[in-house]
A and B are shown apart, each in its own frame.
Chain A
């Protein structure tokens, strides 16, 4: 396959950026999208040009590092991570636009790499259960109904890639935040911090400069792990409950 890539190039956080055009040839259908970019970068290095910077690590769809907007879609046309997107989803001769996640809370570091530290700070605000090592009771001391355990798992699957923010026209982090709130708040172990958790995480989310939720549903459509949109409603409920009760 021969393709034309239009890639966002930006030398650093404060540098101006632009879309640059590259031709790549000899692309196999079996390549992953990132392997296609590897091919481009090998060429660029040999030509003495700066290779395209992009985040990636596990390349099996679980670490959440890869983060490309491909033809306007976070992670591209398939519902998966960029690293699990294969070139068979494209046709010979296609022009493909590759851009970084766009959100005020995710400033560009270089080219296609953004800073997602805001997500870490949301977790730091309350996305945990206070259980110092050694203090844990016997695991079977508290039974957790299977339905609750499954609900927790469904939300715990979030890989923190940020596709939800990238896809949201408001750059909102509601789906990310709600996934963690719901995972921990439904469990009996998470219940003592139920109110403070949601209040603090939402407050931090706002402080980080993410936009508000207008329930466009773009986040859930882009989410490679299928975190469902009702996750947001469930967090709203938790938040309103916490506001009513006040932090304990």
Chain B
């Protein structure tokens, strides 16, 4: 068995930045207690921001507005393409415009509870407070939110919450919010306050004397390896869902920035907390390169079913009502098709594992609108879901008005990420992580329409306030350049890694390894995890890693536009991150939120949380590749929201 599983437990870790006192006053107090940088001195401070999604784009723009010199990076050809753009549903805010009983406290409560009591209360409360300002900010930027005929903003209820607090711009809320941040960033680029490096990927973090001082990056067009130095480094590089190969993430979303930071000393928290979204379009074959999500609003009117009998290959229309199993309605009579994401996902997996799945490979369940069409009429259904039906038909060539949709769960979001304190600073001084890149405010499960809220809260409001304190307390020390031994070593290691990838000249493509590790993770560290499976995965991963370095084939050179080299280099990091995810899932012998351990269930098959043993965030310290990491526990204290077991039966 892999020795990696024999991790040790180190000193506990605690957030020392959140002030004490009433939770509603903590953010104000923190902002007051934080030291400020004299506006005239700000331009002397350089801040590196990696990533231009909602978090990175809004942070870069805001820091530049404050007067800092921002140097920003994205691997895309333009900062406008970050994957935040694909978020459909909306953004939550406790505006209470509907007068339906919403409040900051309720959003805070819903988020802590939705996260299955594995999030830090102070952070979540701050998020709920800031949610209100985000909407104001975005409207001022010209984000075209949906409006009522009176000209005021429209909201809808989303993801099973009982208040209508989700602001949206048709099915393209993420796009509109991202473009708002991108435009704010563009304004600062034009003003010379942000130095933007597009098509440039961060490959490592430069840590000098234990402090983050810069990054090593590769120009994706020329292949040139460059170094960039700063007074602080902000990672806004997104989540790591692509470790599963198939996910709803963009093809180029990757874990390299956070993983390299982890290797340089930043603790990685709760890596096993991944969210699996129940309503994705199933894969059609081995050629599948990514999965597409459809808004979960479809579950409001669609009915989910599979045939009663195993291996029933009749077309849906030929299966009589009596031979259909509306399994969610059967198992969860009170919530039915509207059970939370994790429960709906697991139930789909179970029926498919029983051999009752539909579509190619039996990896799918029906989402049937026949009843809704009968009840509401086709026009009403089209009005509500027309664009989703259209998207489904474009991808599958099946008409959902006539044939039931097929859906299957897919990896969608990662709640885990770099451990950060209340100031969003990692365990490496000077290194901050925002948005999906940090372990965030979502605990073990994220609520719908909360990712956009968190990304923008971090970028527009939290980081720009807290980074001041760091920069003020650590005035510019000696400048670091390429001649510094630690910087030179980091550059050398990066170059060597790329050269090694190019030198193997084996017989397997980068994608073939990515697919292999992804399938392994989906199998053993996906919707349901067991000790046995996780141990199997932990045995297998080092073997794949060894094979990777023996058989990888990367064509071309490092001095040119080389997409195979980019991919291969990202896989190097997936092959290590996957191992940590499995270990984290193995050590957390409880079920909570998106993490379901088969050994920890209630008698009726629901997730059983074990607060007495696992009410902590697991922050892992890197030691060496393939060597067991050290676990640092951050105990979670619930003063305001008392943990209860979820029940949806």
A residues near B, CB below 8 A?
11-12, 28-32, 34-35, 38-39, 42, 44-46, 48-51, 53, 55-65, 78, 80, 84, 86, 88, 109-110, 113, 115-117, 119-120, 123-125, 127-140, 142-146, 149, 152-153, 156-157, 159-160, 183-184, 187, 189-190
Contact B172 A84 (CB under 8 A): no
User: How many residues from B make CB contacts under 8 Å with A?
Assistant: 80
From B77, B287, B394, name the one whose CB has the most chain A CB atoms within 10 angstroms. Answer: B77
As a 0/1 sequence over residues 132 to 150 of chain B, the CB contacts with chain A under 8 angstroms (1 = contact) are 0101110111101111111
Q: How far is the CA of A80 from the CA of B169 in the complex (A)?
A: 20
Contact A63 B149 (CB under 8 A): no
Q: How far is the CA of A128 from the CA of B248 in the complex (A)?
A: 29
From residue 55 to 70 of chain B, which have CB atoms closer than 8 A to chain A?
A: 58, 61-62, 65
Decide: A34 near B289, CB < 8 A? Known: A50-B555, A65-B76, A189-B139: yes
Decide: A143 near B142, CB < 8 A? Known: A131-B137, A136-B133, A136-B136: no
Contact B139 A133 (CB under 8 A): no
Shortest CB distance A162–B (Å):
10
- B65 — which chain A residues lie within 8 A by C-beta? 132-133
B553 within 8 A of A: yes
Contact A125 B251 (CB under 8 A): no
B464 within 8 A of A: yes
Shortest CB distance B52–A (Å):
11
B563 within 8 A of A: yes
Identify 7 residue pairs between A and B in the complex whose beta-carbon atoms are under 8 Å apart, listed by A's number.
A50-B556, A51-B555, A123-B183, A128-B142, A128-B186, A145-B151, A149-B144
9 nearest A-B residue pairs (beta carbon): A143-B151, A128-B183, A136-B140, A124-B190, A131-B140, A30-B284, A153-B144, A136-B136, A152-B144
Contact A133 B460 (CB under 8 A): yes
B184 within 8 A of A: yes
Contact A38 B511 (CB under 8 A): yes
Contact B77 A157 (CB under 8 A): no
Shortest CB distance A175–B (Å):
16
From residue 28 to 80 of chain B, which have CB atoms closer than 8 A to chain A?
A: 58, 61-62, 65, 76-80
Shortest CB distance A201–B (Å):
11
Contact A139 B136 (CB under 8 A): yes
Q: How far is the CA of A140 from the CA of B135 in the complex (A)?
A: 10
Q: How far is the CA of A29 from the CA of B78 in the complex (A)?
A: 32
B95 within 8 A of A: yes
CB closest residue in chain A, given B153: A139
Contact A64 B80 (CB under 8 A): yes
Contact B509 A109 (CB under 8 A): no
CB closest residue in chain A, given B147: A149
Contact B77 A46 (CB under 8 A): no
Contact A86 B394 (CB under 8 A): yes
Complex partner residue of A129 from B153, B183, B198, B287, CB under 8 angstroms: B183
Shortest CB distance A48–B (Å):
7
Complex partner residue of A189 from B141, B251, B396, CB under 8 angstroms: B141
Q: How far is the CA of A137 from the CA of B509 in the complex (A)?
A: 53
Complex partner residue of B150 from A28, A31, A86, A143, CB under 8 angstroms: A143
- A46 — which chain B residues lie within 8 A by C-beta? 507, 509, 553
Decide: A135 near B140, CB < 8 A? Known: A50-B556, A128-B184, A156-B176: yes
B residues near A, CB below 8 A?
58, 61-62, 65, 76-83, 85-86, 95, 97, 133, 135-137, 139-142, 144-153, 169-170, 172, 175-176, 179, 182-184, 186-187, 189-190, 198, 221, 248, 250-252, 284-285, 287-290, 292-293, 391, 394-397, 460-461, 464, 507, 509, 511-512, 553, 555-556, 560-561, 563-564
Contact A117 B511 (CB under 8 A): no
Decide: A133 near B183, CB < 8 A? Known: A56-B251, A86-B395, A184-B142: no
- B147 — which chain A residues lie within 8 A by C-beta? 144, 146, 149
Q: How far is the CA of A112 from the CA of B511 in the complex (A)?
A: 20
Q: How far is the CA of A30 from the CA of B289 in the complex (A)?
A: 12
Query: SS class of chain A's interface: helix, strand, loop or mixed?
Result: loop
Contact A12 B142 (CB under 8 A): no
Q: How far is the CA of A59 from the CA of B290 in the complex (A)?
A: 7
Contact B85 A58 (CB under 8 A): yes
Shortest CB distance B460–A (Å):
5
Decide: A189 near B140, CB < 8 A? Known: A28-B285, A60-B292, A62-B86: yes
CB closest residue in chain B, given A129: B142
- A159 — which chain B residues lie within 8 A by C-beta? 85, 175
From B85, B141, B170, B250, name the one whose CB has the most chain A CB atoms within 10 angstroms. Answer: B141
Decide: A115 near B140, CB < 8 A? Known: A45-B553, A128-B184, A145-B151: no
Shortest CB distance B433–A (Å):
19
CB closest residue in chain B, given A56: B251
Q: How far is the CA of A28 from the CA of B285 in the complex (A)?
A: 9
Contact A12 B561 (CB under 8 A): yes
Contact A129 B140 (CB under 8 A): yes
- B561 — which chain A residues lie within 8 A by C-beta? 12, 53, 109-110, 113
Q: How far is the CA of A128 from the CA of B555 in the complex (A)?
A: 42
- B83 — which chain A residues lie within 8 A by C-beta? 57-58, 63
- A78 — which chain B residues lie within 8 A by C-beta? 394
Decide: A115 near B250, CB < 8 A? Known: A42-B509, A143-B150: no
Q: How far is the CA of A81 from the CA of B190 in the complex (A)?
A: 29
Shortest CB distance A76–B (Å):
13
Contact A39 B142 (CB under 8 A): no
Shortest CB distance B188–A (Å):
9
Q: How far is the CA of A132 from the CA of B183 in the complex (A)?
A: 11
Contact B149 A153 (CB under 8 A): no
Q: How far is the CA of A190 from the CA of B151 in the complex (A)?
A: 16
Shortest CB distance B55–A (Å):
13
Shortest CB distance B534–A (Å):
30
Contact B137 A136 (CB under 8 A): yes
Q: How far is the CA of A123 from the CA of B175 in the complex (A)?
A: 16
Decide: A57 near B250, CB < 8 A? Known: A139-B135, A139-B136: yes
Contact A117 B77 (CB under 8 A): yes
Complex partner residue of B394 from A34, A84, A110, A129, CB under 8 angstroms: A84
Decide: A12 near B151, CB < 8 A? Known: A86-B394, A187-B142: no
- A134 — which chain B residues lie within 8 A by C-beta? 133, 137, 460-461
- A64 — which chain B residues lie within 8 A by C-beta? 80-81
- B152 — which chain A residues lie within 8 A by C-beta? 140, 143
Contact A62 B76 (CB under 8 A): no
Shortest CB distance B399–A (Å):
14
Contact A38 B142 (CB under 8 A): no
